[in-house]
């Protein structure tokens, strides 16, 4: 029996304006934890979507147990014993826990009737293996993000997968949930499940991994076994250069003038399909001219909620926002823009770009100030921003989706800058952009800050937070855990502050006295 | 610690009354129906009579049968606007088969249902394969089916069907155990539909697709087949209604079923099904159809003008959706409390 359970050879995947995978070879070793590392946009998730039948490769072959296989749908992947837990949660919010676990593979009696009681039973057992005490008849819309993920994991377990792909499974989990997950991973490995594990958290990978594969810009740039791997090896392979300790760039000219002040910002939690929102409790901070403040926290810590409230996109429960010392009432996005606060959203496909419009139109969208738009002036302004941000576009009249992720991000940045903001906010500034564009976005933010703009960014990446921020607010369960100055920023400090401690992990529904 | 306990106790109180309010909101179609029956019975003595209920249920059966397919379509996040026209078309097909081809009632029924299913297939194809938004796709087939119905007879009526095939009368005018055949049909179809919705994989897939289409696809649910099913069901129901009407009138008229789709949508929405999909129930739609039927019937008995009836019905529909939104918001607000009391109860 070969050590290699699944092998992918020469996998190519093309996206419009971007080659996601450039002929990748990847092996899944039997009964091992196969770790996949790489920056956002390096192609890890794309490869996993191909292996799980969600997407099709444009070229290349896949061998399972040495036999060529074609995986054309999630259903075929399941039939081959390949299960994936996606990075974005993919649960059916309006169904209950057991129904989710058996979605698409219902147990039936007499070929028509769902055997609900057996389903409930098996679901309960799968959850028990994950050490989850959860009612199987609870509607999933009512569960926290972390618990929803456990439901997804239970789904893969219940169907006896022999290859289990975990795409950043811990990004939403609390420390205790994560260590429960590690136990499960170890146990599954021992019981003969081969695991593919994708994560950004190096300590997790070093703890769990047996085989390591590093991706960069759609290629495999390194392979090694646990014994050969060190932290430095990973970082160097990932970034293609020795680890940077600090970011060089424009020296900031920080004035003492406070541009933005937030006092006691509070948002109530809500649970629902669309309106799911983590709570934010009593967050206060100030932002000086030319300063870059990072907001770091795990998924569900309230990062997005906080910046979206400042941008007028979410209703503030309580609290006060002052711009240049004057209280402003922000009830809508246009209120925020008028006050000089703009946001580049986290999910640019959903909340940012208008895919059918051209690059120029996307930048100029909503930038009109008077009743009549001067096309000439607008075009000049757009052109100067395109030059300044180095947006790589042959023609500004091309549809915006022709651009790579990094350039799309710059388009949104340009749109925000069209409005002459005082405070620029970016929610996950480098999500889904390649390494080169990442460094460039950092440089641009630095330059903008040096020219007197104040910048707030949120991030779930420790490195990014450490490199970019002058000061960091660490959010944990909606509260500011700690405020760290530039010289206090270490991976350990950030991680420790962001992780909920064991005692309070259940307190998403607890009483805050 | 003392404040903590006080807090939780008041929370628990809040949650128990909240539960009651939520329960009432969820069962609002039933609540409204019972209230309407009580009010109309008090205001007019002829309302609460067997005779009136027989007429009432016979009327309600039509929109209720149409509402089944509509419920499925809406649950998946779609809609079917074509079913009124499909009802008209299938009646005409039956009339044509009997009048021009001299066939019996059975052949006419089969032909009518087949033609309707063809339109349903077209709807499904447009939505699933061609990627046309359900609203537009079925708006298109609404016109096409109505046009086809008119073309079949150059706009004329096919009269005196029963004189050519005596079995025609059974579907619309027959009765079994003093209960009209259409009402039996309605009860049977609702039984089947409710069973499919709650007990079969297909039903669960319908809810899944409406809840999160992407996740449903990733879970291996065949989204296209599920959607196709809803449009076929909808067309099938429309065919039955068209046939029932033709049988009741003893004639098929090409304008039959105009704006029936709106009645069906109204019944579905009143029954608590969300237009964005994933939430709602088959039995709710039945109640919704009865609310509209009872309202119309009662207002007629009170001598209120037809014009005012329309105004009142419209207001009830809008109110129902507003209450639906209120329920969703209330639920989201109260959920943390409800969950907490669950945990304290030792869940």
Going from N- to C-terminal start, the domains of chain A cover 258-346+417-500
Tens-digit pLDDT profile for residues A252-278: 445 568 889 999 999 877 665 445 577
* Domain contains B187: yes
**Is pLDDT of A504 > 50?**
no
Pick A90's closest partner by Cβ from B3, B204, B214: B214
For residues B69 and B86, give the distance between their C-alpha atoms in angstroms, rounded to a whole number: 12
* Domain contains B215: yes
Give the closest-approach CA distance of B289 to chain A in angstroms: 24
Q: Cβ contact (<8 Å) for A271 and B335?
A: yes
Provide ipTM, 2 decimals.
Answer: 0.73
Q: Cβ contact (<8 Å) for A105 and B220?
A: yes
**Chain A residues in contact with B222 (beta carbon < 8 A):** 75
Tens-digit pLDDT profile for residues B261-276: 999 999 999 888 888 8
The pLDDT, as a whole number, for residue A511 is: 35
Give the closest-approach CA distance of A228 to chain B in angstroms: 36
pLDDT-wise least confident of A282-286, A358-362, B21-25: B21-25
Residue A90 touches chain B, beta carbons under 8 Å: yes
The pLDDT, as a whole number, for residue A509 is: 37
Instruction: State mean pLDDT over A58-80.
Output: 90
Range of the domain at B305: 31-335
- Residue A26 has φ and ψ, to the nearest 5°, of -145, 135
The B residues from 216 to 235 touching A (CB cutoff 8 Å) are: 216-222
Pick among A49, A94, A112 to test the B interface (most B CBs inside 10 A):
A94
The confidence band for B343, taking pLDDT boundaries of 50, 70 and 90, is very low
Mean pLDDT value across chain A: 83
Instruction: Please give the share of chain A, as a percent, with pLDDT higher than 70.
Output: 87
CA closest to A275 among chain B residues? B332
For residues B201 and B222, give the distance between their C-alpha atoms in angstroms, rounded to a whole number: 11
Give the closest-approach CA distance of A366 to chain B in angstroms: 27
Q: Cβ contact (<8 Å) for A93 and B211?
A: yes
The confidence band for A87, taking pLDDT boundaries of 50, 70 and 90, is low
Give the closest-approach CA distance of A255 to chain B in angstroms: 43
Tally the residues of chain B: 347
For residues A490 and A81, give the distance between their C-alpha atoms in angstroms, rounded to a whole number: 41
CA closest to B208 among chain A residues? A92
Using left for φ > 0, alpha for ψ between -120 and 50, and beta otherwise, residue A104 falls in left
The pLDDT, as a whole number, for residue B109 is: 93
The pLDDT, as a whole number, for residue A79 is: 87
Tens-digit pLDDT profile for residues B22-78: 777 777 788 889 999 999 999 988 888 888 888 899 889 999 999 999 999 999 999
For residues B275 and B55, give the distance between their C-alpha atoms in angstroms, rounded to a whole number: 30
Q: Cβ contact (<8 Å) for B216 and A93?
A: no
Instruction: Please give the share of chain A, as a percent, with pLDDT higher than 90.
Output: 26
Tens-digit pLDDT profile for residues B323-340: 877 877 777 777 666 555
**Chain A residues in contact with B220 (beta carbon < 8 A):** 73-75, 78, 103-105
* Domain contains B343: no
**Is pLDDT of A17 > 80?**
no
Q: Which is nearest to B55 in space by CA: B259, B300, B246? A: B300
**Chain A residues in contact with B75 (beta carbon < 8 A):** none
Other CB atoms closer than 10 Å to residue A219's CB: what's the count? 16
- Beta bridge partners, A253, equal none
Q: In a 10 Å sphere around its CB, with 0-12 CB exposed, 13-18 middle and 19+ buried, how is residue A510 labelled?
A: middle
The pLDDT, as a whole number, for residue A255 is: 56
CA closest to B9 among chain A residues? A511
Instruction: State mean pLDDT over A152-164.
Output: 85
Q: Cβ contact (<8 Å) for A114 and B201?
A: yes
Instruction: State mean pLDDT over A92-106.
Output: 89
Question: Which residues are within 8 A (CB) of B214 and not within 5 positions of it... i.e. 6 or more apart?
Answer: A90
Q: Cβ contact (<8 Å) for A103 and B216?
A: yes
Instruction: State mean pLDDT over B140-151.
Output: 94
Within A312-461, where are the H helices? 333-339, 359-364, 375-388, 405-417, 435-450
For residues B230 and B208, give the distance between their C-alpha atoms in angstroms, rounded to a whole number: 13
Pick A114's closest partner by Cβ from B199, B210, B216: B199
The pLDDT, as a whole number, for residue A373 is: 67
CB A154 within 8 A of CB A126: yes
Domain A258-346+417-500: give its CATH architecture.
3-Layer(aba) Sandwich (3.40)
- Beta bridge partners, A214, equal A37, A222
The confidence band for A238, taking pLDDT boundaries of 50, 70 and 90, is confident
Residue A93 touches chain B, beta carbons under 8 Å: yes
Between helix A145-158 and helix A175-190 the angle, nearest 10°, is 10
**Chain B residues in contact with A108 (beta carbon < 8 A):** 200-201
Q: How far is CA A3 from CA A65, A389, B78, in A?
A: 9, 49, 49
For residues B197 and B204, give the distance between their C-alpha atoms in angstroms, rounded to a whole number: 7
**Is pLDDT of B167 > 90?**
no
* Domain contains B5: no
Give the closest-approach CA distance of A295 to chain B in angstroms: 26
Which CATH number characterizes residue B281's domain? 1.10.3470
Residue B157 touches chain A, beta carbons under 8 Å: no
């Amino acid at each position: 029996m070969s050590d290699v359970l699944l092998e992918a050879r020469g996998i190519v995947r093309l996206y419009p304006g971007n080659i996601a995978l450039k002929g990748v070879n990847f092996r899944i070793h039997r009964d091992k934890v196969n770790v996949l590392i790489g920056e956002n946009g390096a192609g890890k998730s794309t490869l996993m979507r191909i292996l799980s039948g969600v997407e099709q490769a444009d070229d290349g072959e896949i061998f399972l147990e040495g036999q060529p296989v074609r995986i054309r749908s999630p259903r075929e992947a399941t039939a081959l014993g390949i299960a994936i837990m996606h990075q974005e949660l993919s649960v059916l919010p309006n169904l209950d826990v057991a129904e989710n676990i058996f979605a698409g593979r219902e147990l039936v009696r007499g070929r028509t009737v769902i055997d609900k009681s057996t389903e409930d039973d098996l679901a309960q057992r799968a959850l028990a293996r994950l050490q989850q005490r959860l009612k199987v008849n609870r509607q999933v819309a009512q569960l926290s993000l972390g618990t929803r993920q456990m439901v997804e994991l239970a789904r893969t377990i219940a169907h006896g997968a022999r290859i289990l792909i975990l795409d950043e499974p811990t990004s939403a989990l609390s420390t205790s949930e994560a260590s429960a997950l590690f136990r499960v991973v170890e146990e599954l490995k021992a019981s003969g499940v081969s695991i593919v594990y994708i994560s950004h958290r190096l300590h997790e990978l070093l703890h769990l991994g047996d085989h390591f594969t590093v991706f960069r810009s759609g290629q495999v740039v390194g392979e090694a076994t646990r014994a050969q791997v060190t932290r430095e090896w990973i970082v160097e392979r990932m970034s293609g250069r020795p680890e940077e300790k600090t970011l060089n760039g424009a020296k900031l000219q920080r004035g003492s003038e406070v541009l933005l002040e937030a006092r006691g910002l509070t948002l109530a939690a809500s649970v629902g399909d669309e309106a799911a929102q983590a709570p934010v409790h009593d967050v206060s901070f100030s932002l000086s001219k030319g300063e870059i403040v990072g907001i770091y926290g795990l998924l569900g810590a309230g990062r997005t909620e906080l910046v979206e409230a400042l941008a007028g996109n979410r209703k503030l429960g309580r609290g006060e926002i002052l711009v240049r010392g004057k209280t402003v009432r922000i009830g809508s996005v246009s209120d925020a823009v008028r006050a000089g606060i703009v946001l580049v959203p986290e999910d640019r496909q959903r909340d940012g770009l208008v895919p059918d419009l051209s690059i120029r139109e996307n930048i100029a969208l909503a930038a009109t100030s008077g009743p009549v738009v001067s096309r000439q002036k607008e075009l000049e302004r757009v052109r100067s921003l395109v030059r300044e941000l180095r947006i790589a576009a042959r023609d500004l009249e091309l549809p915006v989706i022709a651009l790579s992720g990094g350039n799309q991000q710059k388009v949104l940045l340009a749109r925000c800058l069209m409005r002459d903001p005082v405070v620029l906010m970016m929610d996950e500034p480098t999500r889904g952009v390649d390494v080169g564009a990442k460094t460039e976005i950092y440089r641009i933010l630095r330059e903008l800050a040096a020219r007197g703009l104040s910048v707030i960014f949120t991030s779930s990446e420790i490195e990014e937070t450490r490199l970019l921020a002058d000061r960091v607010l660490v959010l944990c369960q909606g509260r500011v855990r700690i405020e760290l100055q530039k010289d206090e920023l270490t991976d350990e400090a950030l991680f420790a502050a962001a992780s909920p401690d064991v005692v309070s992990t259940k307190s998403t529904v607890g009483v805050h006295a | 610690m003392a404040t903590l306990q006080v807090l939780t106790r008041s929370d628990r109180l809040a949650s128990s009354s909240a539960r009651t309010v939520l329960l009432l909101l969820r069962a609002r179609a039933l609540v409204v129906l019972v209230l309407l029956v009580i009010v109309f019975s008090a205001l007019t003595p002829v309302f609460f009579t067997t005779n009136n209920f027989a007429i009432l249920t016979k009327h309600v059966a039509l929109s209720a049968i149409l509402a089944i397919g509509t419920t499925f379509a809406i649950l998946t996040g779609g809609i079917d606007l074509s079913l009124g026209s499909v009802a008209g078309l299938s009646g005409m097909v039956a009339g044509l088969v009997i009048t021009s081809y001299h066939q019996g009632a059975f052949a006419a029924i089969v032909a009518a249902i087949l033609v309707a299913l063809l339109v349903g297939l077209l709807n499904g194809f447009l939505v699933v394969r061609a990627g046309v938004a359900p609203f537009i796709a079925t708006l298109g087939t609404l016109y096409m089916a109505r046009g086809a119905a008119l073309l079949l007879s150059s706009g004329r009526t096919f009269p005196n069907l029963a004189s050519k095939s005596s079995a025609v009368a059974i579907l619309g005018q027959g009765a079994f155990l003093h209960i009209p055949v259409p009402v039996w049909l309605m009860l049977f179809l609702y039984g089947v539909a409710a069973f499919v919705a709650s007990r079969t994989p297909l039903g669960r897939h319908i809810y899944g697709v409406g809840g999160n289409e992407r996740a449903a696809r990733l879970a291996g649910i065949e989204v296209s087949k599920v959607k196709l099913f809803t449009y076929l069901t909808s067309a099938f129901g429309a065919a039955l209604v068209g046939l029932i009407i033709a049988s009741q009138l003893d004639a098929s008229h090409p304008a039959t079923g105009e704006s029936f789709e709106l009645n069906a949508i109204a019944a579905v929405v009143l029954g608590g099904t969300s237009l964005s999909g994933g939430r709602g129930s088959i039995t709710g739609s039945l109640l919704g159809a009865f609310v509209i039927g009872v309202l119309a019937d009662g207002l007629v008995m009170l001598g209120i003008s037809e014009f005012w009836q329309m105004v009142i019905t419209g207001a009830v529909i809008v109110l129902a959706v507003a209450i639906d939104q209120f329920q969703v918001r209330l639920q989201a607000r109260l959920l943390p409390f409800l969950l907490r009391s669950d945990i304290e109860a030792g869940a």
